Amino acid sequence: MAAATGDVSPGEIEAYFHGVGLAGGMSYAKMFLVDSGSMLSDENIRTLGRVIERYALTGKIGPVAIVATTDEAFRQAQVFASAARAERPLGVFRTQPEAAGWLVRMRRGDLPTDKASSQSISRRDEHRRN
C-alpha cells in the first residue's frame, strides 16, 4: 500500500514504480491512497499513465486499486485510469475496505480480470459517492 498526501510530483510517483519494479513487485496487487486532488495536473496524470504502459511491456502488472477520498482526487484517479491502458485490472474506490475487498476477490479469481470489467467497477463507485 502506498499513500500520497499533499503535492506529489510525477517524478516521485515514477520513482516509486521504478523501486517496485526493481524489487520484483509489479505483478503483485497494489493499493494507492490519494487524499488530495491537487497533486498533479491532468496532463501529468496522463503522462504517468503512459509510464505505467511502459512498465507493462516488461511483464505482468498486478491489479491496482486507487482509493480517492475527495471528489477531485476521484476525478484525477479516473483520468489516470483512462490514460494507463496497460493490461491489468484497475479499480477506483472511495474507501479502503471496498478497495481491499476488490483486490482480494481479484487475487482469488472471483472477478473477471479484463480492463473493461474493472473500469465498470470504477463507474459504479462514482455513482455511489454522493
The pLDDT tens digits for 67-103 are: 988 888 888 888 878 777 767 788 899 999 999 999 9
Q: Domain residues for 17?
A: 2-128
Question: What is residue 120's predicted lDDT score, i.e. its pLDDT?
Answer: 33
Structure confidence by residue, pLDDT tens digits, 47-63: 777 777 777 777 778 88
pLDDT beyond 60 at 38:
no
The predicted model scores a pTM of: 0.76
CA distance 24 to 35: 27
- What is the DSSP pairing of strand 64-68 with strand 2-4? unpaired
pLDDT > 90: percent of the chain: 14
- The answer to whether 81 and 125 are in contact (CB under 8 A) is no
- Torsion 20-22-23-26 (CA) sign: positive
Q: Is 16 helix (H, G, I), strand (E, B) or coil?
A: helix
Query: What per-residue confidence (pLDDT) applies to 127?
Result: 42
Total domain count for the chain? Answer: 1
H-run or E-run covering 68? strand 64-68
